[in-house]
């Protein structure tokens, strides 16, 4: 009974005596609970259900919460295993002194229960205090203007308690397994044992290089098609696998290669450095691979987040180039009336009319095989080979683009929103025509700036006149089995679009009134509110931005904690090594130089790997962002360079901060 009463006290003392490693672990637990509670609280907020434009943000938060659950579980298991490794010597000593295993198991239970209660209490209080602020941040990023009242969700509290109860049970179960599978004497030695060295190092090094190259190849050659997300997850898996193999085997293989070269190895500075690095790599390569992977995740997450934020308006206007667009059947006479109504409303709302366009367009679904100048039937073709072709007369093109182009009989202008057509002639359903020119732009069909994307590309074919348009349309109808040609030829739509320049509130009032007027006209077909459409796009991207920000902070916390644990581990292991180096005759300056060189090389190697991974992943990131209608590769590169520089500074600062712990542990030897 006395033992049972003593166990909670021993658990508390164990944590207190090892506060050097428990303090950062608890801080990470606080942030983990806060992050999970934040996502859960936002999802349970009634305001999210009442706002139709927040539907996309709600979906993104749901996905983010699922990913967060997986990442937090895996990372806290990893961090928990490091803590128990530092405690194994202590637990082994308890066993040798006569404490039974079941009592040690109960002591560990008290320890984990205490950590759980402190973590969830602090994290939920933190979330409770900052909940409104974070919700305001989400609304700000999604550009949703709503009044936010104080909100507390008991459902979010219960979910958080249940989830972290499961996490800490898993951590406790893992620590119990590690304890029970070892004898007391093995526990005494286990705390100083590094990661198990990989056998068949050269074989695994080659596999690591091949795996990494395959991951890079998939990333660099990826295209924006239906397989892009499959390719993304495959590339990520291969790069992570390759990183692990190269750090755990490739680095050791390379150092062994240098050690075998007598002309390199048998120099005083090189001999100590190579031997020291070889020892460190054998023991700590797995931890360094984790640092590299989390650094890469941090770089990519922040790059995507910053790029989306900088390109928000560009994305919004790509799908909605007009503030309002309406369509009527071709014989409608609405254009003059619309112009008069627009001028009336522009005075009423104080808006400048930037564009007021009208044009006839016939949109046809076609197929086009790669490397061919022919447009064929889209029936039975893969989705990637299907395109929209919009037939436009020369008069409408000249009006839209303020041009004075001319076309001869049998000539067309052919514009692509993606990759250029690239042929001097075109075969449209058997009708041949000469391509006079490929215009740089045709409003309102915006173009991918780098013109490398074919996914969802549209073609605009500008023909000489109405008769030529009907001839192309008739050819399409014959190929696609149209029987009533007269009705089919009148399927073209008369489009009316307006783009305003003025204050947001007045512009919305203008659009609402003009929209009601447009829908009341004869031969009305459909209408599209570009302002609302852009707001929905911003809601979607705002949810992504919020998730990217939270995950970026999370990855940085994980990175910082791993670096801290590595420094602590290095410090405890190197205490005796420094004393031995002094005893064998090495001078203080030689030891300082060796230590600095080893630590800097080892800890900055993951950063170099992360920068290489990110550089290789830029093509795939560019492609994935294109799925969100972001096509400005130049802006992406600038954001990536800026983020890489910022992360490198953060990494260096984190290294210097965590290195102080290392120096305090080995304070018996002054390395400065």
Q: What pTM was estimated for this model as a whole?
A: 0.74
Contact assessment for residue 454 and residue 419, using Cβ atoms and an 8 Å cutoff: yes
Runs of H (alpha helix) within 429-494:
466-479, 485-489
- Does a structural domain hold residue 586? no
Per residue in 452-477, pLDDT (tens digit) is: 555 557 899 999 998 899 899 889 98
- For residue 359, give the H/E element and its range: strand 352-367
Residue 294 has pLDDT above 80, yes or no: yes
Question: Of 478, 501, 524, at which residue does a domain stop?
Answer: 501
Give the structural domain span for 477: 352-501
Q: What is the DSSP string of 78-97?
A: HHHHHHHHHHHHHHHHHHHT
Dist. CA 600–CA 592, nearest whole Å? 12
Q: What is the pLDDT of residue 232?
A: 79
- Does a structural domain hold residue 339? no
- Would you state the structure tokens that stand for residue 318, as one six-digit string? 């790509």
Task: Compare 394 and 49 and report the one with higher pLDDT.
Answer: 394
When mean pLDDT is compared over 293-297, 392-396, 660-664, the highest value belongs to 392-396
Task: Compare 595 and 52 and report the one with higher pLDDT.
Answer: 595
φ and ψ of 436, to 5 deg: -70, -40
- Would you state the structure tokens that stand for residue 21, as one six-digit string? 């490693």
Task: Compare 61 and 153 and report the one with higher pLDDT.
Answer: 153
Task: Compare 378 and 283 and report the one with higher pLDDT.
Answer: 378
Task: Compare 51 and 79 and report the one with higher pLDDT.
Answer: 79
Per residue in 32-44, pLDDT (tens digit) is: 888 888 778 877 7
Q: What is the pLDDT of residue 425?
A: 94
Dist. CA 125–CA 117, nearest whole Å? 12
In angstroms, the Cα distances linking 509 to 342, 506, 512 are 12, 5, 5
Per residue in 90-137, pLDDT (tens digit) is: 666 666 666 666 777 777 788 888 889 999 999 888 888 777 676 666
Question: Of 481, 501, 521, at which residue does a domain stop?
Answer: 501
- Does a structural domain hold residue 128? yes
- Does a structural domain hold residue 332? no
Q: Identify which of 37, 117, 105 has the alpha carbon closest to the alpha carbon of residue 72.
A: 37
- Does a structural domain hold residue 587? no
Beta bridge pairs of residue 497: 325, 357
Q: What is the pLDDT of residue 573?
A: 64
Per residue in 232-287, pLDDT (tens digit) is: 778 888 888 888 888 777 667 777 777 777 766 666 656 666 666 666 665 666 67
Number of compact structural domains in the chain: 2
Q: What is the dihedral of CA 49, 55, 61, 63, to 10 degrees?
A: 120
Residue 360 has pLDDT above 50, yes or no: yes
Q: What is the pLDDT of residue 564?
A: 77
Residue 394 has pLDDT above 90, yes or no: yes
- Does a structural domain hold residue 444? yes
List b or e across 595-608, with b for residues whose CB sees 16 or more CB atoms inside 10 angstroms: beebbeebbebbbe
Contact assessment for residue 123 and residue 32, using Cβ atoms and an 8 Å cutoff: yes
- Does a structural domain hold residue 415? yes
Half-sphere exposure (CA, 13 Å, Cβ side) for 307?
A: 28
How confident is the model over 551-557, as a mean pLDDT?
81
Beta bridge pairs of residue 496: 326, 358
Per residue in 413-449, pLDDT (tens digit) is: 999 888 888 899 999 999 999 999 999 889 888 887 6
Per residue in 610-661, pLDDT (tens digit) is: 999 999 888 888 888 887 788 888 889 999 999 999 988 988 887 777 767 7
Residue 588 has pLDDT above 90, yes or no: no
How confident is the model over 529-534, as a mean pLDDT?
87
Residue 387 has pLDDT above 60, yes or no: yes
- Does a structural domain hold residue 53? yes
Question: Of 134, 163, 193, at which residue does a domain stop?
Answer: 193
Per residue in 187-238, pLDDT (tens digit) is: 555 555 554 555 667 787 788 889 999 989 988 887 766 667 778 778 888 8
């Amino acid at each position: 009974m006395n033992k049972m009463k003593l166990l909670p006290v021993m658990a508390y003392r164990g944590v207190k005596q090892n506060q050097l490693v428990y303090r950062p672990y608890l801080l990470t637990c606080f942030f983990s609970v806060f992050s999970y509670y934040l996502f859960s609280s936002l999802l349970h907020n009634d305001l999210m259900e009442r706002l139709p434009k927040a539907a996309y943000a709600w979906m993104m938060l749901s996905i983010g919460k699922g990913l967060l659950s997986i990442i937090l579980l895996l990372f806290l298991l990893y961090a928990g295993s490091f803590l128990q490794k530092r405690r194994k010597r202590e637990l082994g000593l308890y066993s040798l002194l006569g404490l039974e295993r079941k009592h040690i198991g109960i002591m560990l239970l008290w320890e984990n229960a205490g950590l759980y209660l402190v973590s969830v209490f602090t994290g939920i209080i933190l979330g409770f205090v900052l909940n409104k602020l974070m919700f305001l941040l989400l609304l700000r990023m999604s550009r949703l203007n709503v009044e936010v009242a104080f909100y507390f969700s008991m459902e979010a509290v219960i979910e958080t308690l249940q989830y972290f109860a499961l996490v800490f049970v898993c951590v406790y179960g893992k620590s119990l397994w590690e304890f029970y599978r070892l004898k007391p004497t093995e526990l005494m030695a286990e705390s100083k044992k590094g990661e198990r060295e990989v056998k068949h190092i050269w074989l695994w090094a080659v596999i690591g290089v091949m795996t990494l190259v395959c991951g890079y190849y998939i990333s660099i050659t990826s295209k924006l098609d239906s397989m892009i997300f499959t390719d993304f997850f495959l590339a990520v898996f291969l790069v992570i696998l390759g990183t692990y193999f190269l750090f755990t085997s490739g680095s050791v293989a390379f150092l062994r290669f240098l050690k075998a070269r007598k002309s390199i190895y048998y120099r005083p500075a090189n001999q100590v450095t190579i031997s020291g690095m070889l020892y460190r790599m054998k023991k700590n390569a797995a931890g360094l691979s984790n640092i590299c992977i989390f650094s890469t995740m941090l770089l990519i997450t922040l790059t995507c987040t910053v790029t989306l934020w900088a390109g928000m308006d560009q994305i919004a206007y790509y799908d909605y180039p007009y503030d309002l667009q309406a369509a009527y059947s071709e014989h409608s006479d609405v254009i003059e009336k619309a112009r008069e109504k627009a001028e009336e409303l522009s005075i009423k709302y104080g808006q400048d009319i930037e564009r007021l366009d009208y044009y006839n367009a016939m949109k046809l679904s076609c197929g086009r095989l790669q490397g061919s100048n022919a447009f064929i039937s889209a029936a039975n073709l893969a989705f990637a080979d299907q395109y929209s072709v919009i037939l436009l007369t020369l008069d409408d093109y000249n009006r839209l683009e303020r041009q004075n182009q001319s076309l001869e009989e049998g000539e067309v202008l052919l514009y692509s929103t993606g990759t250029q057509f690239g042929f001097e002639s075109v075969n449209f359903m058997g009708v041949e025509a000469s391509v006079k020119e490929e215009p740089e732009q045709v409003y309102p069909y915006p173009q991918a700036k780098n013109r490398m994307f074919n996914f969802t590309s549209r073609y605009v074919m500008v023909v000489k006149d109405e008769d030529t348009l009907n001839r192309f349309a008739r050819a399409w109808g014959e190929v696609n089995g149209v029987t009533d040609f007269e009705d089919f030829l009148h399927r073209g739509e008369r489009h009316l679009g307006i783009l305003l320049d003025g204050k947001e509130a007045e512009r919305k009032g203008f659009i609402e009134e003009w929209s009601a007027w447009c829908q009341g006209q004869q031969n009305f077909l459909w209408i599209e509110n570009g302002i609302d459409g852009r707001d929905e796009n911003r809601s979607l991207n705002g949810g992504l931005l919020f998730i990217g920000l939270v995950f970026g902070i999370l990855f940085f916390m994980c990175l910082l904690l791993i670096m801290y644990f590595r420094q602590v581990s290095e410090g405890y292991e190197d205490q005796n090594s420094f004393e031995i180096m002094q005893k064998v005759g090495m001078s203080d300056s030689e030891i300082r130089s060796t230590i600095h060189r080893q630590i800097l090389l080892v800890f900055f190697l993951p950063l170099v790997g992360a920068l290489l991974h990110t550089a290789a992943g830029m093509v795939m990131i560019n492609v994935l962002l294109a799925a969100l209608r972001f096509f400005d590769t130049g802006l992406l590169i600038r954001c990536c360079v800026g983020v890489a520089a910022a992360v490198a500074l953060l990494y260096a600062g984190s290294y210097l901060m965590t290195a102080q712990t290392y120096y305090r542990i080995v304070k018996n030897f002054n390395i400065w």
